[in-house]
Structure 1
Amino acid sequence: MSIDIDPLREADGITVTDHIENTQFEVYTDRPVDPRPRPASDHYFPVDTSVAVETGSIEIPRVAVVETRDGDGVLLTHGDCYEMPGGTYHVGINPAPTKLYLTFDAGFSVSTTDRTTRIDLDAPATVGLGFRSLHQTPAGTITTPTDPESLMDAVSLLGSALQTTSPERSFPTLRGHPPLIEPGEEFRVPERVEPVESGVRIVVPPEYRYLYPVVSLAYYFAADVVPGDAPRIEGDGWTYPLEPKFEARAAEVLRQSFHMDCLARTEGFYPVDLHERETTGLDLDWGRLYDLPLAERLGEYLDVPFEAVEPELPQWTLTTDVRPDPGNVEMLPFVAGELSIVRSPETVTPADDDGGVGVGFFGGAGRNSAATTRREVPGGGVDLDSRGSPAGGEFVRGAASAGVTRGADASTERGAVPAQTEFVRPEPVDTVEHAWVGDGVPLDANKATLDAYHRRLEVGQVEQSRISVLVVCNDDQMREEGNVADLYGLRDMVQFDIEVRHDRTREEMRETLESDVDFLHYIGHVDDRGMQCADGYLDLTDEDLEIGVSAFLLNACQSYQQGEALIHRGSRGGIVTLSDVANSPATTLGRIIARLMNSGFNLRTALHVAKRELITGHQYIVVGDGGTTICQSRSGAALVLNLEPTETECLDLLIEGFPNGPYGVGSLMYINLDKDDKNHLIPTNVDIKSVTTNEVKEFLDLEDTPIFYDKELTWNNKLTELTDQG
């Protein structure tokens, strides 16, 4: 069973642990409880685990919306403050780290504080609590030859995972994970993978470079993909061309149709007050659109010029470059399941020393180390711990270090990267995140790998319900960064087991890597001989090495190959370096990543935020599954606050909400501020003008959040000091 329910030890209530998603939260009651199993069928919506307790109240430590349905499932009301008379009710509480449903026979009231949501029954009663993991599992694996026409038949079945063809499939929990694809001699489909008849066809030439960019469309529209000359989308009585600019047009169709579904779905089961619905410039009959079949509705969406919709579209989250190679077919369900914009570049631009930001970090002569960082060198002086001489401040390929870097004392013949490594420079993207599928090490993109994505789906039995973080520092001069252990334990809602270890031997490091650690934060030296330990080097590419660590940050010089080895041998995702990194900025970045991971960010978004603060963040990339998290944020979504002081005593506030973990694209977010009483789609930018400092501080009391105050990164505990100075 993936979800464990245990009584709390130091309070009245239960702890809910989802071992698949590494999420944990507490549900409080007004008396000690002994949860006992109840049938999942007690609940209106499907659940994975169901228990019953005797209680007079249910409280969760977050601000949420409570949705109430009658015994037949008819929606009666929703909100955060209301009363209901006696009756039989099905109640949903959202957001929570798992789907949370209650069922009981009693009148009740709903109330919220600035930190909690509480349901008080008119009298103590038996309350059924149902939990459903937000994790999604494929229904099976399609076997297919990998020629483009055979593969079209497999891609046509990606939409079989959709739990509805209504606009509600824009909710991540109603999309389902597409079936997997694997190469084989014959085309075979498992019985549980059944096609959905949506009436949509996607016509593309039978070539990988045309097929790969439409996989997300095929999934979201449950479309049949068929061979033809002119790329286009067809429905009954309409055709939409995908040329010129084929990949760009496919991306526009995904963004436009998804956004319009999110607006139309407010006419259905979830008639929430949606900011984007109230502010849209589109004058359409949303109720009529909601009731149309998928193909007909899509045709009417695409009758609206993209230019009319574009101004109100949020920045999309992810672009994935998938090289047009048959060896990449197994990645397609994962890419589609993320609703990624997909490109399929036929040619690759090699990275060389003349290419600008990024490659200069890989050892190009004439690069000034002090100029490559934004704030990591206090006072603007030269960082004496950087790789070139303090006088010239240059990175020189193969030169000996004048100070401390995160590399070990390898020979001077060693270049800034291993000679066999081929760096590639993908084309820039307009999305927050960028992933790369194919040969080569991408600059500024997540090197995505199949084995890491498969580990999303593995259900392992976890013996403890705490999140384990291990900080290993194998160099005395870097012990300052070892203090990051304090940052991982800041939250009071998630229980962390945090250990710090220094000067590990090879055997001790091997044992560490084999252990079931949720996150390893390594500080020290790495080179082509491996990870430096107290008694030599441990090469993580050794065939006999077993890896139990789930995610990691290898904050050391040139740690890409060692990190890639961790992924191939059992880890899900991690952050690594592509070059030598100076100690001071590496320490700063390590502390930023620690705090972001503690706040529930995934690896890709955490690195995205860190790069906004540190130019040297471009020396780092994500390997494996960039969507990996070690815990969930209180808000579900990952939030970044941007505060700008004004001429008055108020602040202008821009809140960026990023999809994260189970709270994927299309989720709803509610901002707990008096000036904003609407729901917002994720991803989103919520712009609120003239907010008082006290209102901002009260809002920040809810959760530890990264804040860009006057464009500099800070955190909740530092905001008072900054605003007082301002």
Structure 2
Amino acid sequence: MTVEFRANEDGPGIVAVDSVEGRQFSLSTDEPVSLTPASRPSFSEPVDAVTSCHIRTITLPYVVPVFVREADETLLVECDNFTHEKLPAGEYEIEIAAAIKFFLRVSGPVTVQSLSDSMHISFDETTRVELAAQSYSEGPTATVTTTADPEDVMAAVSTFGSSLETTSPERSFPSQRGHPPQLELGSTLMIPDSIDVPETGLEIEVPPELPAVYAVASLSYYLGARVVPGSNPRLLANGTEIVSLADSSEIRGEPTGVDTSETNAERTPLEQAVTDVLQHVFVLDCIVRTEGQYPIDLAERRQLEERVDLPLATLYAAPIAERVTTYMDVPFDVTDDLVPTWQLSTHVSPDPDSVEILSYAANTLSLISVEHQHQQVEAAPEPPGYGALIRSISRETEPVEPAVEPSYIRISSSETLEQAWFGEGRSVNANDLSIESVQNRFTSEPADGPIEIGVVCNEAQMVSEVSEEALYGDRKDLPFDISSYRNLSCRELENVLRSDLDFLHYVGHVNRSGFVCHDGTLDASDLEGVGVDTFLLNGCRSYDQGQVMIERDSIGGIVTTGAINNTKAIPVGRLIAGLLNRGYSLRSALTVVSQRHTVDGRYTVIGDGGIQIAQSENGTPNLLQIDRASDGHGYDVRIATFPVIGRGMGSCYTPYAPSVDRYFLVGGDLPTLTMSLPDVVSLLSLERVPTVIDGEFRWSTDIAPTELPGRDSDAE
């Protein structure tokens, strides 16, 4: 079972636990509840668990979107910040879009009220409620075997659309896009009979070459389009070409051959055209879906309606082929600045082995590029003062380092928030993906109970990284179980690596032969298996040991590719810990760290970098930057958002402040918002998030109002 309901042990209420993703969410009640088995009534979306109980009041620990519908799914009200809605007696379905999505079926009057830091759903009297939950997590439910023949790979990729929950514009929500079937290389093409591909009328023609098929995998998945061989790359609807994919300049109405190297990040013409079409269709779907079950006030819709007059209601109801055909008639420059910063670009080698990573890349709607000539680079140079400060010491017991240096590469630049690499060599500027890691995520033992974290310091000179205040576990909404260790022996560290930990924060000396302990060196390759899911190995050249842990069942981690010193490593380790504790993924955490510290070429993510050890309180990790407004009145607030599992591309975000009356698509920087002092103070207190004030990095809940920019002259 993916989601399980439990009675809250810390007070009256209900806890929902997603054991696969390690997520928990508590619904507090005014009195203890007794959970009883319930049938599965027809909710508006598929659910993973159902229970029944009697409740009068439910309290959420912070504000999340709440939608109240009639029994026939007609939306009555959408509630977010500073809402007070009272509905008369009736039959209602209440959707709570928290870290785990809830649905309540209830009969009677309903009141929904939100304050700055909590929400309350109440009934006039104690009422029987049917309560359901839906996990945001889903792994591949089928496996397709394919040969390396391009036309077989086309047929395999054409199955990706079978995982879409719908072909309506709602599939732009990540919860409506199931994980595509995983692909395996074999001697024959084998597609299970259970795979049911939707008849969308859309086809993508590309030359029968592996790089071309790789490039269109995410677009094929999102459109539910079949991939077929053809000499000229193009997208067809019901047999008619609606856009050429041969050159992005044609899509944009520019003269063919225009140099777009500044914007296409060294993609091929096909790759850039696919990117343009995918992003154009996607953002228009996000806007058109506001005509459906979720008619929220979306900022991007406001902007679009100022530029073009589209029949949004008609488009919402239209078949997908007709809708996409109309989208192609909308000039692409109309949507350029409406597209959120894309989450991920995945760079793959042109080899047949790259076939097996396609479904995982498509699952995040990653932009896929084939790296034909990636740049070979040397390992990171030794930092100044290396001899005195290096996190690797000479011990008589330490094995000799291998003489052969591994191959390091720098992949082409990208405008996405995160980058990944799949192929030979070690990337110095991207997440090194592996098939083992992404498979480990879906085959690992489900978590049950609190988030288990181990903090190991095996060198006294480095203890300041982990010994000041608590790095993890300061979350009222999440239970943590944190174990700290110092100066472990090889046997003791082996026991830690074997234990069932959601996350290991290791501080100490590492070399290519293993973890340095006081009685020798422990090589992870000597272990039959590793129980640690994710990790930060903050020691010199920890890449090799991290990769061994991935091979022995870990999911992902942050490691080093070269020498590091205490001066840099301690603040980097503490910042990574703080970000992971607040719901950042491994990749997004290192993205933020790289904005504050020079880590390029020294720290990298290996394995499945999209994994999180904890959920963000509001679902979307974000970073604030606050400056005094240029006119001296109020503050300019810039918010950067980072898509993560369950809140990926297509999710919406709103800062809970009275002056903000709309939602924004998640991904990168939102438009600058002007807020009053009270709004800024409230925003800073709602959730502990990274914040930049006058160029200085702080945590929001540590900032006093008197420390805000320009407060000395503030007349508010």
TM-score after normalising by structure 2? 0.92
CA gap of 1:326–1:689, structure 2 versus 1, over 3 A, is closer
Aligned to 1:397: none
Instruction: Tell me if the contact between 1:485 and 1:500 (Cα under 8 Å) persists in the aligned partners.
Output: no
Instruction: Tell me if the contact between 1:350 and 1:422 (Cα under 8 Å) persists in the aligned partners.
Output: yes
CA gap of 1:417–1:496, structure 2 versus 1, over 3 A, is farther
Moved more, 481-490 or 517-526: 481-490
CA gap of 1:126–1:77, structure 2 versus 1, over 3 A, is same
CA gap of 1:214–1:410, structure 2 versus 1, over 3 A, is farther
CA gap of 1:688–1:599, structure 2 versus 1, over 3 A, is same
Aligned to 2:93: 90
Instruction: Tell me if the contact between 1:201 and 1:223 (Cα under 8 Å) persists in the aligned partners.
Output: yes
Aligned to 2:298: 274
Say whether 1:636 aligns with 2:636.
Answer: no
- Aligned amino acid, residue 320 of structure 1: T
- Aligned amino acid, residue 46 of structure 1: P
Instruction: Tell me if the contact between 1:408 and 1:526 (Cα under 8 Å) persists in the aligned partners.
Output: no
Aligned to 1:596: 579
Say whether 1:458 aligns with 2:446.
Answer: no
Aligned to 1:72: 72
Q: SS of the counterpart of 2:532?
A: coil
- Aligned amino acid, residue 343 of structure 1: S
- Aligned amino acid, residue 347 of structure 1: Q
Q: SS of the counterpart of 2:41?
A: helix
Say whether 1:508 aligns with 2:492.
Answer: yes
Out of 488, 492, 502, which is 2:476 matched to?
492
| Structure 2: runs of 5 or more not aligned | 248-268, 712-716
Out of 534, 540, 553, which is 1:557 matched to?
540
Aligned to 2:309: 283
Say whether 1:52 aligns with 2:63.
Answer: no
- Aligned amino acid, residue 531 of structure 2: G
Aligned to 2:230: 228
TM superposition shift of 1:246: 1.5
CA distance in 2, matches of 1:677, 1:657: 18
TM superposition shift of 1:5: 2.0
TM superposition shift of 1:22: 0.9
How do 1:575-654 and structure 2 match up within 5 A?
575-616=558-599, 618-646=601-629, 648=632, 650-654=634-638
- Aligned amino acid, residue 159 of structure 2: L
Per-residue CA deviations over 1:648-673 (Å, capped at 9, x if unaligned) read 26321011111112111101212211
Out of 345, 350, 355, which is 1:319 matched to?
345
Say whether 1:678 aligns with 2:678.
Answer: no
CA distance in 1, matches of 2:226, 2:402: 45
- Aligned amino acid, residue 640 of structure 1: L
Aligned to 2:192: 190
Out of 415, 427, 432, which is 1:447 matched to?
432
TM superposition shift of 1:718: 3.4
- Aligned amino acid, residue 432 of structure 1: L
Aligned to 1:255: 279
Q: SS of the counterpart of 1:26?
A: strand
Q: SS of the counterpart of 1:261?
A: helix
Instruction: Tell me if the contact between 2:533 and 2:556 (Cα under 8 Å) persists in the aligned partners.
Output: yes
TM superposition shift of 1:306: 2.3
Per-residue CA deviations over 1:391-435 (Å, capped at 9, x if unaligned) read xxxxxxxxxx1x122223279x99999624110110111111000
Q: SS of the counterpart of 1:41?
A: coil
CA distance in 2, matches of 1:339, 1:211: 15
CA gap of 1:46–1:153, structure 2 versus 1, over 3 A, is same
- Aligned amino acid, residue 18 of structure 1: D
CA gap of 1:230–1:575, structure 2 versus 1, over 3 A, is same
- Aligned amino acid, residue 424 of structure 1: I
CA distance in 2, matches of 1:459, 1:409: 37
TM superposition shift of 1:454: 1.1
TM superposition shift of 1:687: 3.1
Instruction: Tell me if the contact between 2:694 and 2:709 (Cα under 8 Å) persists in the aligned partners.
Output: no
TM superposition shift of 1:312: 2.4
CA distance in 2, matches of 1:698, 1:611: 28
Q: SS of the counterpart of 2:439?
A: helix
Say whether 1:294 aligns with 2:342.
Answer: no
TM superposition shift of 1:554: 0.3
- Aligned amino acid, residue 670 of structure 2: V
Instruction: Tell me if the contact between 1:655 and 1:685 (Cα under 8 Å) persists in the aligned partners.
Output: yes
Out of 378, 389, 393, which is 1:404 matched to?
389
Say whether 1:524 aligns with 2:508.
Answer: yes
Aligned to 1:38: 38
CA distance in 1, matches of 2:213, 2:648: 24
Say whether 1:662 aligns with 2:646.
Answer: yes
Q: SS of the counterpart of 2:56?
A: strand
- Aligned amino acid, residue 222 of structure 1: G
CA distance in 1, matches of 2:45, 2:164: 16
Per-residue CA deviations over 1:543-566 (Å, capped at 9, x if unaligned) read x43101010000001111111111
Aligned to 1:706: 690
CA distance in 2, matches of 1:623, 1:227: 35
TM superposition shift of 1:576: 0.5
CA gap of 1:330–1:300, structure 2 versus 1, over 3 A, is same
Aligned to 1:380: none
The number of aligned residues is 681
Instruction: Tell me if the contact between 2:417 and 2:668 (Cα under 8 Å) persists in the aligned partners.
Output: no
CA distance in 1, matches of 2:337, 2:33: 52
CA distance in 2, matches of 1:558, 1:414: 14
CA distance in 2, matches of 1:578, 1:443: 8
Aligned to 1:206: 208
TM superposition shift of 1:698: 1.1
CA gap of 1:690–1:269, structure 2 versus 1, over 3 A, is closer
TM superposition shift of 1:187: 1.8
Aligned to 1:121: 123
Q: SS of the counterpart of 2:196?
A: coil
| Structure 1: runs of 5 or more not aligned | 353-358, 370-385, 388-400
Per-residue CA deviations over 1:98-123 (Å, capped at 9, x if unaligned) read 11011111111000111111111011
Instruction: Tell me if the contact between 1:546 and 1:570 (Cα under 8 Å) persists in the aligned partners.
Output: yes
TM superposition shift of 1:11: 1.4
CA gap of 1:578–1:414, structure 2 versus 1, over 3 A, is farther
Instruction: Tell me if the contact between 1:452 and 1:624 (Cα under 8 Å) persists in the aligned partners.
Output: yes
Instruction: Tell me if the contact between 1:416 and 1:579 (Cα under 8 Å) persists in the aligned partners.
Output: no
CA distance in 2, matches of 1:104, 1:47: 16
CA distance in 1, matches of 2:349, 2:563: 28
Q: SS of the counterpart of 1:304?
A: coil
CA distance in 2, matches of 1:420, 1:703: 44
- Aligned amino acid, residue 9 of structure 2: R
CA distance in 2, matches of 1:296, 1:307: 21
Aligned to 1:376: none
Instruction: Tell me if the contact between 1:557 and 1:577 (Cα under 8 Å) persists in the aligned partners.
Output: yes
Q: SS of the counterpart of 1:69?
A: strand
Out of 384, 409, 412, which is 1:424 matched to?
409
CA distance in 1, matches of 2:118, 2:553: 38
TM superposition shift of 1:40: 2.2
Out of 139, 143, 146, which is 1:144 matched to?
146
CA gap of 1:330–1:724, structure 2 versus 1, over 3 A, is closer
CA gap of 1:158–1:497, structure 2 versus 1, over 3 A, is same
CA distance in 2, matches of 1:511, 1:268: 53
TM superposition shift of 1:605: 0.4
CA gap of 1:362–1:410, structure 2 versus 1, over 3 A, is farther
- Aligned amino acid, residue 709 of structure 1: I
CA distance in 2, matches of 1:484, 1:622: 26
